[in-house]
């Protein structure tokens, strides 16, 4: 049963990254590439009807994590307390900037909330990428010092950074050169993804310029992916054991490769949906490859004293997992129906939605 819930949780997180990811990317586009009021309106119109619904997937994932893997929930929410608070405030600022911008028609007021929206989106993409870096790198479970565990085996706490910025240091930080690198990968990936969404949902002049932006950024992304793969292997040797045992798992790296190289054809696509599909494939394939290489480990331990947190040793009791299945099924049906209706109502271009105008 715990394997089933692991798959469900990973699917939910993947959906969140793809859906809210284009929101973050649109915010980054808004910050750096939207030059006129018309272009800024095009960006907010493209995500206006969707952004708050997309964030439901993050809340739902947290709920599923709480009742399926409570030990991991307790460990992660205490150990990553500082960055989680930062993410919470960034989500708040991003939300209120979208809502408050149109309340007062003053250029200084609008510029303030434009910057808040863009910077919050940029930092969220950076922090979520860094979060993946922390999970891949592992943490000092039990706060081991000199070979002795000073805390409970599943407990840890990370400062925002350590003085050396070394991911292999005994006293690690959330931010080091490895996690920042993966954060940059996330920023570029989601910028491309958000740009593809804007192209899909609007017909503004910005959409045409974004095709050139995507094409150029894809070279940057290719370089960062290759670099991060080498660095990743240095920090935490990439395990190919699962790929050697279950050959079908290679579908994830293949999907990521198709998505990455497909985006180089952005200028040739006749349908606006094509670019978005390829960027979504890259995100899905990359996320799936990471999970497949780590399974069954959920949070690696960087010491030899306390074991890593795995699907088996952090799962709730079988009875709780079984009861949760019934309630989850009802909620899943409601969410699916809601999203079908939402995408049906707001299908096509959204240039005339006028989101944020009061």
- Joined tokens for residue 354: 């006028």
Q: Residue 25, Cα to own-chain centre: how many angstroms? A: 11
Secondary structure (DSSP) of 250-305? GHHHHHHHHHHHHGGGTTT-SSTHHHHHHHHHHHHHHHHHHHHHHTTEEE-BSSSS
45, 191, 194, 300 from 277: Cα distances, Å: 20, 14, 12, 32
Residue reference for tokens 């980054």 = 28
Mean pLDDT, range 151-158, rounded to an integer:
90
Instruction: Provide the percentage of residues in the chain whose pLDDT is more than 70.
Output: 99
User: Does pLDDT of 140 surpass 60?
Assistant: yes
- Whether the per-residue pLDDT at 302 is higher than 70: the answer is yes
Per DSSP, the chain holds a count of helices (H) and strands (E) of: 13, 6
pLDDT for 231 beyond 70: yes
Average pLDDT over residues 61-88: 92
Spatial CA neighbour of 305 closest among 170, 114, 131, 124? 170
Q: Residue 29 above 70 pLDDT?
A: yes
- pLDDT bin (cut points 50, 70, 90) of residue 123 is very high
What is the mean pLDDT of the segment spanning 179-201?
Answer: 96
* 355 occurs within a structural domain: no
- Cβ neighbourhood burial of 101 (10 Å; 0-12, 13-18, 19+): buried
**Contacting residues for 274 by C-beta, under 8 A, at least 6 apart:** 262, 265
Q: How far apart are CA 133 and CA 180, in angstroms?
A: 8
In whole angstroms, give the CA distance from residue 188 to residue 125. 9
Both tokens assigned to 182:
């993966």
- The predicted pLDDT at position 356 comes to 59
Give a yes or no: residue 227 inside a domain. Answer: yes
Residue 238 inside a domain? The answer is yes
Domain that holds residue 34: 2-345
Residue 352 inside a domain? The answer is: no
Q: Residue 161 has what DSSP assignment?
A: E
The reported pLDDT for the residue numbered 132 is 92
| Average pLDDT for the chain | 90
Q: Is residue 241 part of a domain?
A: yes
Tokens of 89: 């405030």
pLDDT at 7 over 70: yes
Token couple for 226: 């290759």
Q: 278 near 258, Cβ under 8 Å?
A: yes
Predicted local confidence at residue 358, as pLDDT: 47
Whether 279 shows a pLDDT value over 90: the answer reads yes
User: Domain for residue 353, yes or no?
Assistant: no
If you average pLDDT over residues 326-344, what whole number do you get? 88
pTM to 2 decimals?
A: 0.93
Domain presence at residue 44 = yes
In a domain, 350, yes or no: no
What single-letter DSSP state applies at residue 139? B
Residue 122: the pLDDT is 96
357 pLDDT band, cuts 50/70/90, is: low
Q: Is the pLDDT of residue 188 over 90?
A: yes
Question: What average pLDDT does this structure show over 109-127?
Answer: 93
Residues 6+ apart with CB under 8 A from 261: none
3-state SS class at 63: helix
The pLDDT assigned to 284 comes to: 96
The count of domains in the chain is: 1
User: Does residue 156 contact residue 141 with C-beta atoms inside 8 Å?
Assistant: yes
Query: How confident is the model over 49-70, as a mean pLDDT?
Result: 90
Alpha helix stretches (DSSP H) within 175-238: 177-201, 205-235
Q: What CA–CA distance (Å, rounded) separates 36 from 310?
A: 50
Kindly give the pairing relationship between strand 148-149 and strand 144-145: antiparallel
φ, ψ dihedrals at 59, nearest 5°? -65, -45
* Cα distances (Å, whole numbers) of residue 305 to 49, 148, 158, 244, 297: 49, 7, 18, 28, 16
Percent of the chain predicted with pLDDT > 90? 59
Q: Are 28 and 114 in contact (CB under 8 A)?
A: no
Which residues, in sequence order, are CB contacts of 1 under 8 Å at separation 6+? 315, 318, 321, 322, 325
With 90 as the cut, is the pLDDT of residue 28 above it?
A: yes
Nearest to 263 by CA among 317, 313, 167, 189: 189
């Amino acid at each position: 049963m715990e394997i089933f819930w692991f798959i469900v949780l990973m699917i939910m997180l993947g959906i969140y990254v793809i859906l809210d990811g284009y929101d973050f990317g649109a915010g980054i586009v808004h910050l750096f590439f939207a030059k006129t009021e018309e272009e800024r309106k095009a960006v907010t119109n493209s995500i206006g009807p969707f952004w708050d619904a997309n964030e439901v997937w993050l809340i739902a994932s947290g709920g599923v994590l709480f009742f399926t893997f409570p030990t991991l929930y307790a460990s992660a929410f205490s150990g990553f307390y500082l960055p989680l608070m930062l993410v919470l405030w960034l989500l708040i600022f991003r939300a209120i900037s979208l809502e408050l911008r149109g309340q007062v028609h003053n250029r200084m007021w609008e510029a303030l909330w434009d910057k808040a929206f863009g910077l919050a989106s940029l930092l969220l993409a950076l922090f979520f990428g860094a979060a993946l870096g922390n999970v891949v790198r592992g943490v000092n479970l039990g706060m081991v010092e000199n070979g002795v565990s000073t805390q409970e085996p599943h407990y840890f706490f990370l400062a925002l950074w350590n003085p050396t910025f070394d991911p292999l240091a005994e006293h690690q930080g959330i931010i080091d050169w490895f996690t920042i690198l993966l954060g940059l990968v996330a920023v570029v990936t989601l910028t491309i993804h958000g740009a593809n969404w804007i192209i899909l949902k609007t017909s503004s002049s910005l959409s045409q310029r974004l095709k050139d932006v995507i094409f150029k950024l894809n070279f940057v992304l290719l370089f960062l992916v290759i670099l991060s793969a080498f660095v990743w292997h240095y920090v935490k040797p990439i395990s190919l054991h699962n790929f050697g045992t279950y050959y079908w798992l290679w579908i994830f790296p293949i999907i990521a490769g198709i998505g990455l190289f497909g985006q180089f054809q952005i200028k040739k696509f006749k349908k606006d949906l094509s670019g978005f599909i390829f960027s979504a494939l890259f995100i899905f394939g990359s996320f799936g490859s990471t999970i497949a290489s780590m399974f069954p480990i959920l949070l690696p331990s960087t010491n030899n004293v306390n074991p890593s947190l795995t699907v088996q040793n952090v799962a709730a009791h079988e009875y709780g997992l079984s009861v949760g299945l019934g309630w989850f099924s009802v909620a899943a049906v409601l969410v699916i129906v809601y999203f079908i209706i939402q995408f049906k109502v707001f299908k096509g271009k959204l240039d005339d939605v006028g989101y944020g105008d009061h």
